[in-house]
Structure 1
Amino acid sequence: MDTTQSGKPTESKATPAPAGAAGARFVKLAKSLQFAWFVGHAIVLFSSVLYMFTFKEWLYRLVYLGVVHSFGIIIYQQHFLKTVPRDTASLLTDENILYFALATVWLFTPRFTISLIPYIIFSLFHFARYLQNNFLPVVFGLTRENSGIIQNLTNFTQNFNERCMYWVAGVELTTEVILLLKALVWCRRSWILFPLYSLFIKIRFENSKYSRAAFAQWRVRLDGLISHPSVPPVAKKAYDFTKTKLIQLSSYQLTKPTLSPQAAEAKQN
């Protein structure tokens, strides 16, 4: 997910506030659906900070309630307020639906703290952009020209968004590996979570440049590690077999036309 392109309401950017009481402007702003979306991201951010200090389960659940709330508003806007019909294939490529469905799974399954990281990062950028484009200009009349706060928020979102999205993809791939290991040792509900999350990773690989970059980076690193002379031949053979099967699997597309195995390998390279 690129937070500059999706995961936010389709309302226009706010103009600087006219003269008047800040409280009245805030009340007017708070009545919008976009503000409700912003509140969801605020819940995610502040609950996750408290959770990292206390690890209380109710805070973990509250984070995901905030996620479901904010992503649910986007889905409501895109698929219920608009009259343009969407086919099933397009629903599979809708990042908001994908992350909403995944958050619902995490909400009702045993705690898995690493799963919070992508949502925290998404909420951080959406929260910052709403302050920058809506809250501060509307309520306080601030602009980039007269406010260092807005300038700093703008610099942050412009300079770190792309980098963090690549990092999110790496975290998601790490999560897949951890779920695989948990499934191999028969952890609670692991054989339910692992296939569901694998489906999520497959769809992300097909549609996200960040996910494909994470796979490519891992492949280069693993190729280097496995090629070391100290690695037993049986391990190298197992690695080559697994890599080949994954390349073949990538040729079967869920959301796009099917690629040949040769084309899939070329795409990964």
Structure 2
Amino acid sequence: MAPPPPASMPLGQRLAALAQTLQFAWFAGHVTLLLATLRYSLSYITFNYYSRWASFSYRTAFLSACVTYGIVVYKAYRARMRAGKQGGVVALATDENVQYLIMALVWLFSRQIPLAILPFSVYSVFHVATYVRSNLLPTIQPPPAAQAGAKPQGSAASEAIGKFVKEYYDGSMTLVALLEIFLWFRVLGSAMLFQKGSWILLAVYTVFFRARVAQSSFVQEAINQLTARIDAQLANQSTPPAAKQGWATFKGIVKQAGDATDIRRYVGGQQGAPKKAQYVLEGCGTILDEDTAVMTKKTIDMFASPVDDRRKSV
């Protein structure tokens, strides 16, 4: 992220300068997504999911997601071009920012599935917190100059935000992983009912989810936990043998499908080791400065690093 405007400028000018950056548009997109999600949730809990307001809120949420991810993809592309690097099809396909941008576009033009909004909303909570802590608060109330060699002291609000992210990030990413798993079954259910366009949606989301399994250890851990729970339940002696056999068959099919679609088999292992989701940067959308392709750990005091090995960084 670009640094906040100089503290020597008047507050109005600092805010105006901040609002003119592409990072602010990214931040505004996440705020809009959260507000649209709240409005849609109100319609949902009052059983008005197909009202005009509900439809508007739902589409606005995903339109905002498209804007935020589009900005990040654009910034990353510019950074690669400046560095003289031109990513191929494989690099593009394995970019989580691109994956989430595509899915946001798919959800934008598909039938409403309320569950689809939730992962994007969780990501936006952390992105808004990241931006407020690293840009907005220092712009409104610049920290006092630190002594030589001393670490600048943040405000109480900044410290509270940092504590919130450190405390809830891992749990929230696990929640997102579970939501994405349940969402696959939700889409599968629509396909089995032969709803219009559901089989195409299932195919697209399956490709997306396969990429998430390969790239996010949070998704991998969630799958392992769910599998272990089901195994434990079926291990009961009262479980019918047919249920056990069906579960074993299902696991075998999933494993074979996973092995057959492992991109590392076809690109010589170029994909590398699985990463913990990348959206602070998992959920894909940390805004970049002009010359870097990812937000560094140092940028926001190590609580919003671009790769999801945040357990190490905090």
1:92–1:255 CA contact under 8 A, matched in 2: no
What's the offset of the Cα at 1:254?
Answer: 4.1
Runs of 4 or more above 4 Å deviation = none
- Within the alignment, does 1:47 sit opposite 2:55 as a pair? no
1:14-93 aligned within 5 A: 14=3, 17-55=6-44, 56-83=54-81, 84-93=85-94
- What is the CA–CA distance in structure 2 between the aligned matches of 1:123 and 1:197, rounded to whole Å? 21
1:191-202 aligned within 5 A: 191-202=199-210
What's the offset of the Cα at 1:253?
Answer: 3.8
1:206–1:256 CA contact under 8 A, matched in 2: no
- What is the CA–CA distance in structure 1 between the aligned matches of 2:227 and 2:154, rounded to whole Å? 47
Aligned to 2:286: none
1:44–1:67 CA contact under 8 A, matched in 2: yes
Aligned to 2:294: none
What's the offset of the Cα at 1:216?
Answer: 0.6
- Between 98-107 and 83-92, report the one with greater CA deviation: 83-92
**What secondary structure does 1:70 align onto?**
helix
* Stretches of structure 1 lacking an aligned partner (at least 5 in a row): 1-10, 259-269
2:173–2:218 CA contact under 8 A, matched in 1: yes
What's the offset of the Cα at 1:234?
Answer: 1.6
- 2:254 aligned to which of 230, 246, 256: 246
Instruction: Give the number of the structure whose residues are more often helix, by fraction.
Output: 1
What's the offset of the Cα at 1:187?
Answer: 2.5
Aligned to 2:96: 95
What's the offset of the Cα at 1:110?
Answer: 0.7
- Between 177-186 and 161-170, report the one with greater CA deviation: 177-186
What's the offset of the Cα at 1:235?
Answer: 1.8
What's the offset of the Cα at 1:72?
Answer: 0.4
- 2:192 aligned to which of 184, 188, 191: 184
- What is the CA–CA distance in structure 1 between the aligned matches of 2:154 and 2:88, rounded to whole Å? 46
Paired letter, 2:15: F
Aligned to 2:172: 164
Residue deviations 1:158-205 (CA, integer Å, cap 9, x gap): 221122111101110011111112211222322121111111111111
Paired letter, 2:166: Q
- 2:157 aligned to which of 149, 154, 159: 149
Paired letter, 2:116: S
What's the offset of the Cα at 1:121?
Answer: 0.7
1:183–1:194 CA contact under 8 A, matched in 2: yes
What's the offset of the Cα at 1:50?
Answer: 1.4
Residue deviations 1:80-101 (CA, integer Å, cap 9, x gap): 4531210211112211100110
**What secondary structure does 2:196 align onto?**
coil
What's the offset of the Cα at 1:36?
Answer: 0.8
- 2:219 aligned to which of 190, 193, 211: 211
- What is the CA–CA distance in structure 1 between the aligned matches of 2:140 and 2:260, rounded to whole Å? 51
What's the offset of the Cα at 1:15?
Answer: 5.3
Aligned to 2:114: 113
Paired letter, 2:213: F
Aligned to 1:3: none
TM-score by length of 1: 0.86
